[in-house]
Each structure stands twice: as structure tokens, then as C-alpha cells.
Amino acid sequence: SYELTQVPSVSVSPGQTASITCSGDALAKHYGHWYQQKPGQAPVLLIKQDNERPSGIPERFSGSSSGTIMTLTISGVQAEDEADYYCQSAGSGGIYSVVFGGGTKLTVL
Amino acid sequence: EVQLVESGGALVQPGRSLRLSCAASGFTFHDYTMHWVRQAPGKGLEWVSGISWNSGSIDQADSVKGRFTISRDNAKNALYLQMNSLRPEDTALYYCAKSYYGGNSYYFDYWGQGTLVTVSS
């Protein structure tokens, strides 16, 4: 079955660039997506289809994908970007199945 | 404005049943596949189940197969999750999520605020 792997934590200073990676076989065949979740809140779609920003998402968030790895890049990190970030792609079950990565906690120092 | 409002969460004993509901508004409900996603306390997101626009196709995570059943009522703009034989490991915040098919995989463009299910004796 498909699995998506993320590093548990990333730390970055304000104004720096943060890169969060997600790896898994599903990404070689399917688009990946990213979500941001702040404490006590529901997840928010951050990047869809590898690299598209939904309306209202700041330009400092960008995504890329190559082979079995996709990357979320946050340029000019701000304190408000401290959150958990999850990648997601298609699961290995039926057409509607979905798989999430384990999540990466971004800490802004 | 899209709104998804979950309800039905409660404290239940192991082995008992519970039915979650999600009231949808602000979009054409019957046009979209809908899902349930859960999050155990302090843990990551786990996909639970998805249902097609017309209830013709359903998928579930292996962890809930045979115990949970997703359904929908398009006339009421409502999504449901019938949860039977509940286990302590089912304890989680359960989110209702609207999905969109992006090329070759679904993603979730709107989420509710979640309803908490606690399974404990």
C-alpha cells in the first residue's frame, strides 16, 4: 500500500526559507497536495496538484515535485507560518482512497 | 460560502455504535465526492472513507472496513458516518471534507471543524 513519508520537524528563523519534503511511490503516478494545520484548527489546503496555489494562499508558499518526492517551500518564513504541514496523494485502494503523510511540525525560531 | 458542520460526536463505550452527521451548504452538494478524515489526539491526519456523488462508489480505509459505513442524502445536503463496534483506537476528531478531483487524485478543498469521538469505558 502507498505510504507518504515526512520528516517530523523542521526549524527555521524568520525571513529564511523552509523546505518540507514528502516522499512515496504514489507521487510518481499521482499529484500531491499540501495542507497547513494550526493548533485547534481544521487543515487548510495550501498547494494542490503539486504546485498550484488555491485562491487566498500567499505567494511565499510554493510546491514542486519530481519522481517520488515533492517539496513544499516557504520563502520568507513568518511567525504565523508555525504549524503542522501534511502532504497527501492518492491511496492504493479504490479511486477515492487517499493517503496522508505523517506531518511535519514547522517551528519558527 | 462553503460550510461543513459536523455533529454527533460523543463519549461511547467500546463495542457501541455512533452516527456522525455533516451538514453541507454553500455549494452544489450532489456534484462532489465527500469524505471523512480523522485525527487522533496529538496525531496526524488519517483518511477514513469517501463516497461518490451518487453513492454508487465507496472506499474505506482498512482500519474501519466492516465497521464503519459512509452514506449521504443529497436531498438533505448531508453526509453520514455510521460507526459500529467502536474501539479505543477510533478515538479522534472526525472531519467532514469536500473533495475535488485534480487530474489524477482527489484533494480536500474544504473541511469542517470536526466532531470529537471518544471511545472509552
Supply the pLDDT for residue B29.
97
- CB distance A102–B44 less than 8 Å? yes
Q: How many residue pairs bridge chain A and chain B with CB atoms within 8 Å of each other?
A: 89
Give the number of other CB atoms < 10 A from CB of residue A58: 13
Binned at pLDDT 50, 70 and 90, residue B87 comes out as: very high
The parts of chain A modelled with pLDDT lower than 70 are none
- CB distance B51–A93 less than 8 Å? no
- CB distance B111–A42 less than 8 Å? yes
A60: Cβ–Cβ under 8 A, 6 or more apart, which residues?
A74, A75, A76, A77, A78
Chain segment A87-108, per-residue pLDDT in tens:
999 998 888 999 999 999 999 9
- CB distance B59–A43 less than 8 Å? no
Strands (E), chain B: 3-7, 11-12, 18-25, 34-39, 45-51, 58-60, 68-73, 78-83, 92-102, 105-111, 115-119
User: CA-CA-CA-CA torsion for A57, B115, B55, B51, nearest 10 degrees?
Assistant: 50
Supply the pLDDT for residue B92.
98
A40 touches chain B (CB under 8 A): no
The residue in chain B having the minimum alpha-carbon distance to the alpha carbon of residue A98 is B47
Kindly tell me if the per-residue pLDDT of B89 is higher than 90.
yes
